[in-house]
C-alpha cells in the first residue's frame, strides 16, 4: 500500500484509531485560580479574536486534516458544511498531492464550493516553492497559508523527505511573497523558544505550536513500516502546554495558535491563559464527523461556544486577550520545565 491515495486514507484510519488512546497535552498541569467574584455577565463575553489581519468570530477552528482521496473528499465536504453552519474557520490537509496529481484537486476545491464565504487556510510542507504556495492559495481561494513543519514524520515515513536544509530560507521567501498571511504549523511535536526565534527573525508572525498530545504522526508512519522499528520515538516532542510556555517571551513578536490534543472548552481556556489567541482542533472534529455525523458535530460546536462563554465568565474574562492576564498555577512538571528552560512562570 504505497500509493498516495492509500497513504491519505491510512492517515485517516490511524488518526481515528489514536483518538481514544491515552495521551496528555500537558494542560492537566495548568489550573486557573478560582475567584469568587467575576464581576461580569455572560452577555459581556466576546469570543472574537484575530490572527494577524484575519478576524475570527470564534476563537477555535477546524484544523488541518485531510484531502487527496475519495474518502477525504467526503470528509472535507462534511467539515466544510460544519464550518459554514457554525461560522468556524477551517484548515485543509496538505494540498501538495493535488499540485502533483490534478485528479485530486476536487477533494480540496469542494471545501470552497461548499463554504464560499468562509475563512479557509490552505496547507503545504515548508519545502514547497513560492509558485506552489501561490497555487495552493489560489486553488481554494485561501485566506491564509499554513506551512507545516514535520521533520519527525518525514524521517519515519517510508517514502518521506530526508533533506531539511533549506526550510527556513524557503519559509522566509514565501512569507515575503504571498499576499495572504502565512501560518507556520507544527504537526504534533511542539515548538521551542529557539524555533520561535528562528521563525520570527525571518518575518513569521503567526505560529501554531501543535504540541504533543493529539494525533501522533510518528506512530502513524511507523504503522506503515514493515518492521515498525520506531516505537521508541512515540514520546518525542513537547506537549501543547510546554510549547505554549515556550512562546511566553515572544508574545510581543508573534500570534500563537494552540493545537495538539485539544478536546474541551477547558483545554481552550487554559490555552488562552498560556498565551494562545486561537485554538485548532483536528482529532476531536474528525472523530465527531466519522462517528456522529454532520448534525451532531454542529450541535457539539454550538455547545462548545456556550460552554467557553460560561468558562470565561467564571474567570472574569470579557475577551480572549484578557485571559492572558488571569492567575494560573502550574504543576511541578510544568514548573520544572520552566526552570530548566529559563522561561518566565507568570
215 is in an annotated binding site: yes
276 is in an annotated binding site: no
C-alpha to C-alpha distance for 301 and 303, rounded to whole angstroms: 5
Q: What is the CA radius of gyration of the chain?
A: 19
> Are 111 and 120 contacting, i.e. CB atoms less than 8 angstroms apart?
yes
94 is in an annotated binding site: yes
C-alpha to C-alpha distance for 2 and 96, rounded to whole angstroms: 16
C-alpha to C-alpha distance for 303 and 17, rounded to whole angstroms: 25
200 is in an annotated binding site: no
262 is in an annotated binding site: yes
263 is in an annotated binding site: yes
185 is in an annotated binding site: yes
40 is in an annotated binding site: no
C-alpha to C-alpha distance for 110 and 123, rounded to whole angstroms: 15
26 is in an annotated binding site: no
7 is in an annotated binding site: yes
C-alpha cell of 207?
Answer: 505560529
165 is in an annotated binding site: no
If phi over 0 gives left and psi between -120 and 50 gives alpha, with beta otherwise, what is residue 157?
beta
80 is in an annotated binding site: no
**Which residues line the annotated binding site?**
7-8, 64-66, 94, 123, 153-154, 185, 215, 261-263, 282-283
Give the annotated binding-site residues for substrate.
7-8, 153
Residue positions forming the annotated binding site for Mg(2+)? 154
Residues that constitute the known binding site for FMN? 64-66, 94, 123, 185, 215, 261-263, 282-283
Amino acid at each position: 500500500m504505497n500509493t498516495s491515495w492509500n497513504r491519505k486514507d491510512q492517515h485517516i484510519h490511524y488518526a481515528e484509531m489514536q483518538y481514544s488512546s491515552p495521551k496528555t497535552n500537558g494542560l492537566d498541569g495548568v489550573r486557573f485560580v478560582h475567584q469568587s467574584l467575576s464581576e461580569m455577565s455572560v452577555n459581556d463575553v466576546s469570543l472574537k479574536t484575530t490572527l494577524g489581519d484575519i478576524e475570527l468570530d470564534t476563537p477555535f477552528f477546524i484544523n488541518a486534516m485531510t484531502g487527496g482521496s475519495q474518502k477525504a473528499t467526503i470528509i472535507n465536504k462534511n467539515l466544510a458544511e460544519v464550518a459554514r453552519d457554525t461560522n468556524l474557520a477551517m484548515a485543509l490537509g496538505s494540498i501538495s498531492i493535488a499540485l502533483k496529481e490534478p485528479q485530486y484537486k476536487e477533494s480540496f476545491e469542494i471545501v470552497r464550493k461548499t463554504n464560499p464565504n468562509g475563512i479557509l487556510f490552505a496547507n503545504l510542507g515548508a519545502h514547497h516553492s513560492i509558485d506552489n504556495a501561490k497555487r495552493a492559495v489560489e486553488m481554494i481561494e485561501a485566506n491564509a497559508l499554513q506551512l507545516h513543519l514535520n521533520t519527525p514524520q518525514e524521517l519515519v515515513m517510508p517514502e518521506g523527505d530526508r533533506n531539511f536544509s533549506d526550510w527556513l530560507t524557503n519559509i522566509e521567501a514565501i512569507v515575503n511573497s504571498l499576499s495572504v498571511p502565512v501560518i507556520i504549523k507544527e504537526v504534533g511535536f511542539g515548538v521551542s523558544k529557539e524555533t520561535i526565534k528562528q521563525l520570527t527573525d525571518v518575518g513569521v508572525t503567526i505560529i501554531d505550536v501543535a504540541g504533543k498530545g493529539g494525533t501522533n504522526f510518528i506512530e502513524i508512519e511507523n504503522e506503515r513500516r514493515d518492521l515498525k522499528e520506531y516505537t521508541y520515538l512515540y514520546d518525542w516532542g513537547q506537549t501543547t502546554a510546554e510549547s505554549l510556555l515556550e512562546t511566553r517571551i515572544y508574545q510581543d513578536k508573534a500570534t500563537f495558535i494552540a493545537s495538539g490534543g485539544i478536546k474541551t472548552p477547558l483545554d481552550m481556556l487554559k490555552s488562552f491563559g498560556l498565551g494562545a489567541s486561537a485554538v485548532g482542533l483536528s482529532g476531536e472534529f474528525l472523530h465527531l464527523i466519522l462517528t456522529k455525523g454532520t448534525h451532531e458535530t454542529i450541535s457539539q460546536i454550538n455547545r462548545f461556544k456556550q460552554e467557553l462563554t460560561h468558562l470565561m465568565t467564571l474567570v472574569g474574562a470579557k475577551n480572549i486577550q484578557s485571559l492572558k492576564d488571569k492567575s494560573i498555577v502550574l504543576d511541578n512538571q510544568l514548573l520544572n520545565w520552566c526552570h530548566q528552560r529559563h522561561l518566565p512562570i507568570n
